[in-house]
Homo-oligomer: A and B are copies of this chain.
Amino acid sequence: MSDTKNRIRLGMVGGGMEAFIGAVHRTASRIDDKYELVAGALSSTPERAKQSGQQLGLPMDRTYDSYAKMAKAEAARPDGIEVVAIVTPNHLHFAVAKAFLEQGIHVICDKPVTSNLDDALALKSLIRETGCHFLLTHNYTGYPMAREARRMVLSGAIGPIRLVNMEYIQDWLSGDETGKQAEWRLDPERSGAGGCIGDIGTHACNLAQFISGLAVRELSADLHRFGAGRRLDDNAHILFRFEKGAKGLLWASQVAIGNENGLRIRIFGETGSLEFAQEEPNKLWFAQIGKPKQLLSRGGAGFQGQARLPAGHPEGFLEAFATLYSEFADVIRKGETGPVPLPGIEAGIDGLRFITAAVQSAQDGGRWVAV
């Protein structure tokens, strides 16, 4: 049905049954009707891959049990996939991305982009060579009010930036977690050198840079492991020095009981400040020196961004995610750049540099390390 809709043919690696992030990507791909999932290597277990494919209504012959086979087979079909979404654990991102890029297939990849900096740099070369497009799903940059904050900062609404305060606090690793989500995130072989700094710290860092427009220069990190027997950090306190003299602070935690997904960015300039909290994404606090505080809302007075719904009709996590998919589709189909730069391989490299520097600083007793 509906070839007229001209949807982008999408494949997926990872994201089989019960995987949280795979379902998020699939829903995000559908929201603006620009993609159709047509193939997948949804699990490395053949039986599971098959069942997952059936459940999603994929044709049998495009339900693969190996991403390598999939990359080749799809590249060979006239109706083969144009883009692949990679939603595996971190340590597989690089190899999977490589396999598809080498076949000229665009890539959408979950973050962190790879499990180490060398791979990320190699990936960058590969992307350049193949001419493919690459999207890293730093999804929080898709929130309309995060973008509004960025627009306001860039327009000078708060003056030159002095302080960037980042908080990303969760509590799901407060006890002795053993579930599937926890397992690979706590395993250095699959997650890389960062625990909560990789899983969520990179998101906070990325969003702060997105909003502030500032690059990180140096950091001093204190990483902690509170959970019994953990090999990776589950809490981090990190001091930042940004370019242009701005200072910063990041608190990332997965043991902060009472916090679900507490990503919050507060940015202070010489004449004003902005505060964005992911759990209330339709709002944005704006303060100006000598004036009453304002609570801005998505779609409300003064809002200059793009919204799917009128003010007061909450947009959420999936819509922000979908916005990245949607704008990436326009890059692919129309060569159009959207209203903000989409997160790509550079954001991925920044993330790896951040993780690397943080681990090194923490090992050296909090020494200031260049990022």
Contacts and interface: CB of A to CB of B under 8 A. Distances in A.
Interface in A152-168: 158, 162-163, 165
A268 B275 contact: no
B258 A293 contact: yes
Contacts of A300: 260, 292
A56 to B, nearest CB: 8
A269 B247 contact: no
A12 interface: no
Nearest to A253: B163
Interface stretch (A67-75, A84-92, A129-137, A314-322): A314-322
Given A163-B253, A257-B272, A292-B295, A318 B317 contact: no
Contact of A237 (B6, B23, B58, B249): B249
A271 B256 CA distance: 10
B295 A293 contact: yes
B224 A59 contact: no
A255 B268 contact: yes
How many copies of this kind of chain does the complex include?
Answer: 4
A175 interface: yes
Contact of A261 (B30, B32, B311): B311
Contact of A314 (B2, B226, B297, B317): B317
A288 interface: yes
A292 to B, nearest CB: 4
A279 interface: yes
Nearest to A58: B4
Interface of A: 1-7, 20, 23-24, 26-27, 30-33, 36, 38, 56-59, 79, 158, 162-163, 165, 170-172, 174-175, 220, 222, 224, 226, 235, 237, 239, 247, 249, 251, 253, 255-262, 266, 268-273, 275, 278-282, 285-297, 299-302, 308-319, 365-366, 368
